[in-house]
Amino acid sequence: MQAHQSKRDFLKVILGGSLLAWAGTILYPILAYLKPPSQAEAEVSSVKAGKLSDIEKDSGTIIKFGSKPVILLRTAAGDLRAFSATCTHLDCTVQYRKDFGLIWCACHNGKYDINGRNVSGPPPRPLDEYKVNIQGGEVFISKRS
């Protein structure tokens, strides 16, 4: 009887103990999950580039398109253009220079006109063009098929 008793208790101890441990392995991930991460919100990469009304005339912004940067231009006349923002010379990220009225690469002074054509400096090729669509006041950028 004594042996049975201790065996019973031993099993109950193991059962109880492992149950508690198991509860821990369930609760710990859930609680850690609920704790807000340091970066509070998801980063917007946007195939959607925002409201048309938010984009100023004669300006350009860089937008993350998947893993690639895309520069979205709004000309002084109000047209929207989008190009790959990777300079065709040595892969730096280009920007829009209002004072030049051109797309400019800070690395080696490459210049592209607002049609993406390389017009000055080392870039050997124009920038790849992306399609810009406006649907319901929102700007969408997509790859040229």
Our finding on whether 126 is near other proteins (CB under 8 A) is no
- Comparing CB distances to other proteins, the nearer of 46 and 61 is 46
What is the DSSP annotation of the chain?
-HHHHHHHHHHHHHHHHHHHHHHHHHHHHHHHHHSPPSS-SPPP--SEEEEGGGSPTTEEEEEEETTEEEEEEE-TTS-EEEEE-B-TTT-PBEEEETTTTEEEETTTTEEE-TTS-EEESS--SPPPEEEEEEETTEEEEEE--
Our finding on whether 124 is near other proteins (CB under 8 A) is yes
Angle at Cα 92 formed by Cα 98 and Cα 69, nearest 5°?
A: 75
Encoded one letter per residue, x for contact with other proteins by CB under 8 A and - for no contact, window 26-65 reads ---xx-xxxx-x-x-xxxxxxxx---------------x-
- Comparing CB distances to other proteins, the nearer of 18 and 59 is 18
To other proteins, the closest distance from the beta carbon of 64 in angstroms equals: 7
- Candidates 18, 27, 51, 137: give the one binding other proteins (CB under 8 A): 18
Residues that bind other proteins (CB under 8 A): 8, 11-12, 14-15, 18-19, 21-22, 25, 29-30, 32-35, 37, 39, 41-48, 64, 66-67, 69, 86, 90-93, 106-109, 118, 121-122, 124, 131, 133, 140, 142-143, 145
